[in-house]
């Protein structure tokens, strides 16, 4: 289909983009992997499209000196793939779309779009990422845990722009894994689970589990984390913890997977992710 008519504004700076958003009927264009298909289907019809793809101040990033990481909002999947030292992060990013999508799609776009089946939010949740937002009122930092409010809904205010995403250093000895049951045609997650786990002295000392594709929003499986922390990380302990994968969630049911199957696959892939992270 052909999009509805719109005005086009190519931003020259973040402040210029913020000024263009002030009208209230504008949307941002970065990689275009999300907004353009929606416009073609007329599920979105912004009065003005504000192109921020040329803003160098939103580009670049990677590991930081303190062991954490910081990425500009316009960092593409391909650029993140090339810079991350984390094997499981590369595994997750390599499974997103195809090479064209990875070369154009941006981390900021993926986070702000909040697709319930997107892989990047689960990875970000498990790694304790936060989102830095800017408006004419200043900057604020919002942890990714709590940032996703619903399907395609986030804590971003209408006058805010994602500037970058950041995370702290991982605990000593932490390892991760991303396990995914993907739709065979689209590659989107029917269930996607990222686990980041550390153990010391025979017990689990750190556990983060991010899950996507299960409900209307990516979430941290805190009941799984709580069950795993302090355990011996044995196969039985992991299996028991994984049973909490959908606790507190309304599990989706659609033509690709009914509620019962999706819920069971969430448990299975949570167990696999934790086992792989712990090397059991």
- Establish if 34 belongs to a structural domain: yes
Which of 121, 149, 167 is at the close of a domain? Answer: 167
DSSP of 172-229, one letter per residue? TT-EEEEEEEE-TTT--EEEEEEEEEEEETTEEEEEEEEEESSSSS-EE-HHHHHHHT
Question: Domain holding 272: CATH number?
Answer: 3.30.390.50
Domain membership of residue 16 as a residue range: 7-51
pLDDT tens, 128-171? 999 999 999 999 999 999 999 999 999 999 999 999 999 999 99
Which parts of the chain have pLDDT scores under 50?
Answer: none
| pLDDT of res. 165 | 98
Same domain? 97 vs 133: yes
Establish if 160 belongs to a structural domain: yes
Residue 51 and residue 144: Cα distance in Å, rounded? 25
Cα–Cα distance measured from residue 29 to residue 17, given in angstroms and rounded to the nearest whole number: 10
pLDDT of residue 156: 96
Phi, psi at 101, each rounded to 5° = -65, -45
CA dihedral 57, 59, 60, 66 (to 10 degrees): 60
Helix axes 87-94, 119-126, angle to 10 degrees: 160
Q: pLDDT tens for residues 11-28?
A: 999 999 999 998 778 999
Cβ pair 15, 54 in contact under 8 A? no
**In this structure, are 156 and 134 located in the same domain?**
yes
- Within a domain: residue 104? yes
> Of 167, 199, 222, at which residue does a domain stop?
167
Q: What is the pLDDT of residue 43?
A: 87
Question: Are residues 179 and 271 located together in one domain of the fold?
Answer: yes
131 and 161 inside one domain:
yes
Question: Using an 8 Å Cβ cutoff, are 154 and 147 in contact?
Answer: yes
* Domain co-membership, 67 together with 123: yes
- pLDDT in the model for residue 268: 98
| pLDDT of the residue at 102 | 94
Where helices occur in the chain by DSSP H, the ranges are 14-21, 35-40, 77-83, 87-94, 99-104, 107-113, 119-126, 222-228, 235-242, 259-278
Give the distance, in angstroms, between the CA of residue 128 and the centroid of all CA atoms in the same chain. Answer: 11
Last residue of a domain, one of 51, 66, 84: 51
C-alpha span between 84 and 68 (Å, rounded): 11
Distance CA 249, CA 111 (A): 20
> Do residue 182 and residue 229 come from a single domain?
yes
- Clarify whether residues 137 and 209 are in a common domain: no
Does residue 111 contact residue 165 with C-beta atoms inside 8 Å?
yes
Would 1 be classed as within a structural domain?
Answer: no
Residues 210, 241: one domain?
A: yes
Write out the two tokens for 40.
């073609």
Q: State whether 129 and 106 are in the same domain.
A: yes
Considering the domain architecture, whether residues 193 and 215 belong to the same structural domain is answered as yes
**Residue 240 has what pLDDT?**
98
CB crowding 60-73: b at 16 or more within 10 Å, else e: ebeeeeeeebbbbb
Note the pTM of the prediction, 2 decimals. 0.95
Does some domain include residue 2?
no
The domain spanning residue 22 has which CATH number?
Answer: 3.30.43.10
């Amino acid at each position: 289909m052909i999009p509805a008519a719109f005005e086009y504004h190519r931003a020259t700076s973040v402040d210029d983009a913020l000024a263009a958003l002030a009208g209230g009927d504008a949307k941002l264009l970065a990689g275009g992997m999300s907004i353009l298909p929606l416009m073609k289907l007329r599920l979105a019809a912004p009065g003005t499209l504000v192109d921020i793809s040329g803003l160098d101040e939103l580009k670049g990033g990677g590991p930081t000196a303190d062991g954490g990481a910081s990425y500009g909002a316009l960092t593409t999947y391909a650029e993140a793939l090339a810079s991350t030292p984390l094997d499981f992060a590369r595994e997750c990013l390599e499974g997103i779309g195809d090479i064209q999508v990875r070369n154009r799609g941006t981390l900021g776009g993926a986070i702000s779009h909040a697709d319930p089946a997107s892989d990047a939010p689960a990875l970000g949740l498990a790694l304790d990422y936060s989102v830095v937002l800017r408006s004419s009122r200043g900057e604020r930092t919002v942890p990714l845990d709590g940032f996703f409010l619903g399907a395609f809904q986030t804590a971003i205010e209408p006058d805010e722009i994602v500037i970058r995403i950041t995370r702290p250093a991982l605990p000593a000895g932490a390892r991760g894994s991303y396990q995914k049951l993907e739709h065979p045609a689209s590659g989107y997650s029917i269930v996607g689970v990222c686990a980041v786990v550390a153990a010391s002295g025979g017990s689990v000392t750190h556990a983060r589990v991010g899950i996507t594709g299960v409900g209307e929003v990516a979430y941290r499986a805190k009941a799984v984390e709580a069950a795993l922390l302090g355990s011996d990380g044995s196969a039985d302990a992991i299996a028991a913890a994984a049973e909490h994968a959908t606790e507190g969630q309304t599990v989706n049911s659609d033509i690709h997977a009914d509620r019962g199957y999706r819920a069971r696959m969430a448990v299975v892939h949570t167990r696999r992710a934790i086992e792989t992270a712990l090397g059991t």
